[in-house]
Amino acid sequence: MSSTLTGAPVSPGRAAGVVVTMPAPVPEPATTRLPADQVDDAVDRLAAAARTVQERLTEQAGRVTGTASEVLSVTAAMAGDPTLAAEAERRVREDALSPERAVWEAAGGLAAQLEALGPPLSERSRDVRDVRDRIVAELTGARPPGVPEPGHPFVLVADDLAPADTASLDPETVVGVVTIGGGPTSHTAILTRSLGIPAVVAVAGAGDLRDGETVLVDGGAGSVVRDPDPDAVAAARHRDSARREFDGHGRTADGVPVQLMANVADPDGARAAAEAGAEGVGLFRTEFCFLGRAAEPSVAEQVNAYRRVLGAFPGKRVVVRTLDAGADKPLGFVTADDEPNPALGVRGLRTAGRHPDVLDRQLRAIAEAAAAEDAEVWVMAPMVATPGEARDFVAACAAHGLSQAGVMVEVPAAAIRSRSVFEHAAFGSLGTNDLIQYTMAADRVLGELAALSTPWQPAVLELVRATCEGAAAHDRPVGVCGEAASDPALAPVLVGLGVTSLSMTIRALGDVAAVLAATTSDECAELARLACDQPDAESARAAVRGKLHDVLDELAL
Residues with active-site annotation = 187, 481
Report whether 381 contacts 355 (CB < 8 A).
Answer: no
Q: How far is the CB of 432 from ligand PEP (least distance, A)?
A: 5
Helix (H) or strand (E) holding 359: helix 356-372
C-alpha 510/C-alpha 468 separation (Å) is 25
Does position 432 interact with ligand PEP (CB under 6 A)? The reply is yes
Cα separations (Å) of 265 from 269, 360, 430, 521?
6, 21, 17, 31
- Tell me the CB-side half-sphere exposure of residue 522, using CA atoms within 13 A: 1
Q: How far is the CB of 410 from Mg ion (least distance, A)?
A: 5
Cα separations (Å) of 348 from 282, 335, 459, 498?
18, 10, 23, 26
> Residue 499's closest CA among 527, 469, 519?
469
Q: How far is the CB of 481 from ligand PEP (least distance, A)?
A: 5
Mask: binding to ligand PEP, 322-351, rule CB under 6 A, as x and -? Answer: --x---------------------------
Q: Which residue, 104 or 306, is less far from ligand PEP as judged by CB?
A: 306
Q: Which residue, 136 or 509, is less far from ligand PEP as judged by CB?
A: 509
From 207-215, 232-240, 289-297, 432-440, span contacting ligand PEP (CB under 6 A): 432-440
Report whether 103 contacts 46 (CB < 8 A).
Answer: yes
From 95-103, 372-380, 426-434, 544-552, span contacting ligand PEP (CB under 6 A): 426-434
Q: How far is the CB of 501 from ligand PEP (least distance, A)?
A: 13
- Where residue 26 falls (left for φ over 0; alpha for ψ -120 to 50; beta otherwise) is beta
C-alpha 116/C-alpha 125 separation (Å) is 10
C-alpha 280/C-alpha 274 separation (Å) is 8
Instruction: Pick from 165, 296, 410, 523 the residue near ligand PEP by CB under 6 A.
Output: 410
DSSP 29: P
The one of ligand PEP, Mg ion, none whose footprint includes residue 129, by CB under 5 to 8 A per kind, is none
Q: Which residue, 272 or 409, is less far from Mg ion as judged by CB?
A: 409
The one of Mg ion, ligand PEP, none whose footprint includes residue 326, by CB under 5 to 8 A per kind, is none
The one of Mg ion, ligand PEP, none whose footprint includes residue 432, by CB under 5 to 8 A per kind, is ligand PEP
Q: Which residue, 26 or 460, is less far from ligand PEP as judged by CB?
A: 460
C-alpha 386/C-alpha 419 separation (Å) is 11
CB atoms within 10 A of CB 73: 18
CB atoms within 10 A of CB 42: 21
DSSP 323: P
Site for ligand PEP in 461-490 (CB under 6 A): 481-482
Mask: binding to ligand PEP, 287-326, rule CB under 6 A, as x and -? Answer: -------------------------------------x--
Does position 266 interact with ligand PEP (CB under 6 A)? The reply is no
Cis-peptide, bond into residue 120, ω within 30° of zero: yes
Q: Which residue, 197 or 407, is less far from Mg ion as judged by CB?
A: 407
Name the amino acid, one letter, at 537.
A
Q: Which residue, 8 or 103, is less far from ligand PEP as judged by CB?
A: 8
Report whether 92 contacts 43 (CB < 8 A).
Answer: yes
The one of ligand PEP, Mg ion, none whose footprint includes residue 157, by CB under 5 to 8 A per kind, is none
Report whether 142 contacts 27 (CB < 8 A).
Answer: yes
C-alpha 19/C-alpha 36 separation (Å) is 47
Q: How far is the CB of 487 from ligand PEP (least distance, A)?
A: 13
Site for ligand PEP in 17-76 (CB under 6 A): none
The one of Mg ion, ligand PEP, none whose footprint includes residue 481, by CB under 5 to 8 A per kind, is ligand PEP
Where does this chain bind Mg ion (CB under 5 A)?
410, 431, 434
- Residues at the interface with ligand PEP (CB under 6 A): 283, 285, 324, 410, 431-434, 481-482
